[in-house]
Structure 1
């Protein structure tokens, strides 16, 4: 199999852009854990990227993307190039940040197509932002990037991870493993099948 012995590429996306956000600490922690499992990580911090409010998704520019902004074209290329996604999301009003939804909706399902996603959610309260993961399951499913079954939910995140992304509660190091194990297995399986048989392009709403 082509993926055996080679690094899997993963896009790690941090969705929150609010002042005082806790997500950057979570993203640092998750990135380290991904790299420990030999993933090649590309990190998108939507705040640091100053990702714009998009009025026209890239697929609205047509198959040749004529006139599409270069930053969106660069992002689409990287999305197509990876083998999996990990999304770090806060919970806003039982859902996800508008900044994250805006980003995800900018690219067609064919870009995400048949690559698994893993979810990490957090909150400053006792429930770990879990409602955001239920929203993301629907969104990523529609984008043909099904979520693995295990989710890392981090309650009281302000007391769980320090500013450098190091767990204050060592239990986090083991609690993240089930999601990452599933993600690695699924990413290898789907990568091998894509290389062998390609993608069923007729199943996409917006094409590949």
Structure 2
């Protein structure tokens, strides 16, 4: 889809546990975004190491110095045109590392931009129970999820450790989600630029 500048997409990875399968999903998603000309940034909670949330980015008052990693992440979230959330499910729910990381940033950072959900599991449901809860969570943040959800069952059989697709349907599934996200992201970016945001 043509645009004057590439869409900026922040990809949130939602797991930090040992031998996590989510990293291969995030690598795959990043490769698909880069292949389609997006300006993509990965937020991996294992790398960012944000502590259990005590003080969100928007609680810092003027003159207070934010931790450098938090200030940089806030700027990238605010500058993004769209978001993709890569999530497994913990106890059939949203992984705590994902909610903790995203909650650091207020609704004004996410507002009037779309999000896409990529969920996975080693079982047959592909993380869909967490995806249903993520729809509510993302809506409350202000970045409504697009209708297409890319669910990956038996993820260990679908992707290699480096994120390379094993299952032939992986790339077509990603393409559908990205096209859906792009349509909304372009429309919302154009309207933000011409009409601004409600005050």
TM-score by length of 1: 0.91
- Of the candidates 60, 65, 68, which is equivalent to residue 70 of structure 1? 68
**SS of structure 2 residue aligned to 1:43:** strand
1:51 is displaced (CA, Å) by: 2.3
| 1:37–1:65 distance in 2 versus 1, CA, 3 Å | farther
Instruction: Return the alpha-carbon distance in structure 2 between the equivalents of residues 78 and 141 of structure 1.
Output: 19
Specify the alignment match of 2:174 in structure 1: 176
- 8-17 or 49-58, which moves further after superposition? 49-58
Instruction: Return the alpha-carbon distance in structure 2 between the equivalents of residues 65 and 130 of structure 1.
Output: 43
Specify the alignment match of 1:160 in structure 2: 158
Instruction: Return the alpha-carbon distance in structure 2 between the equivalents of residues 185 and 163 of structure 1.
Output: 30
Specify the alignment match of 1:150 in structure 2: 148
**SS of structure 2 residue aligned to 1:148:** strand
What stretches of structure 1 of length at least 5 have no aligned partner? Answer: 202-208
What stretches of structure 2 of length at least 5 have no aligned partner? Answer: none
CA contact (8 A) 1:58 1:65 kept: no
CA contact (8 A) 1:59 1:65 kept: no
Specify the alignment match of 1:21 in structure 2: 20
- Of the candidates 94, 97, 100, which is equivalent to residue 96 of structure 1? 94
**SS of structure 2 residue aligned to 1:88:** strand
1:67 is displaced (CA, Å) by: 3.8
Instruction: Return the alpha-carbon distance in structure 2 between the equivalents of residues 30 and 36 of structure 1.
Output: 10
- After superposition, the CA RMSD in angstroms is 1.3
TM-score by length of 2: 0.95
Instruction: Return the alpha-carbon distance in structure 1 between the equivalents of residues 113 and 88 of structure 2.
Output: 22
Q: How does 1:1-208 map to 2 (within 5 A)?
A: 4-62=3-61, 64=62, 66-201=64-199
1:5 is displaced (CA, Å) by: 3.0
1:65 is displaced (CA, Å) by: 6.8
